[in-house]
Amino acid sequence: MFKKQSPMARSIENTPDQTINRIVEGTHLEGNIRSESSIRIDGTFTGDIHTKGRVVVGPNGKIEGNVHCQHSDVEGLIKGKLAVQELLTLKSTARIEGDIFTDKLSIEPGAYFTGTCSMGAKVKEFKKVDVTSRKGELLEEQTA
């Protein structure tokens, strides 16, 4: 009655690590995004993004707002603060206009950013980066 799946068949069920939210080219979206999974921007997004996954900005992608994520690969434009808990990769076409907070940074020749960059062990000491702060201050997470 039911066919047995071959070992090579992919399961339909997605885990959070495999789920990707997409804003495709030609789409303009405004608002704020909070997500447990990864996000890929190939269109234009205006607002803040907070995710526990990866943020990928494609070559034609544009974000005007603050981004807080685990990992990020940027090929397009980000205007705002970028807080990446682990690795930020700037491809050769990447353009960042704002402050960067990250543990590790990889920059290909041709990429550029305007703003300050805080990285490494000092950034790791802080559990939360307030990307909404206009002063770009790093804030310690407070627990009750």
Question: Which amino acid is located at 20 in the chain?
Answer: I
Range of the domain at 63: 20-131
Answer whether residue 77 is part of any domain.
Answer: yes
CB 119 within 8 A of CB 101: yes
Section 12-27 average pLDDT:
72
Answer whether residue 86 is part of any domain.
Answer: yes
pLDDT at residue 16 in the model: 47
Answer whether residue 91 is part of any domain.
Answer: yes
Q: Above 90 in pLDDT, residue 11?
A: no
pLDDT at residue 110 in the model: 96
pLDDT digits (tens, 9 = 90+) for 98-137: 999 999 999 999 999 999 999 876 555 444 555 554 444 4
Answer whether residue 28 is part of any domain.
Answer: yes
Answer whether residue 9 is part of any domain.
Answer: no
* Average pLDDT across the chain, whole number: 81
Q: What b/e sequence results for 107-136 when a residue is b if at least 16 CB atoms lie within 10 Å of its CB, and e otherwise?
A: beeebebeeebeeeeebeebeebbbeeeeb
**Which phi and psi angles does 53 have, rounded to 5°?**
-100, -150
pLDDT at residue 143 in the model: 41
Answer whether residue 3 is part of any domain.
Answer: no
Per the structure, the count of domains in the chain is 1
Answer whether residue 1 is part of any domain.
Answer: no
Answer whether residue 10 is part of any domain.
Answer: no
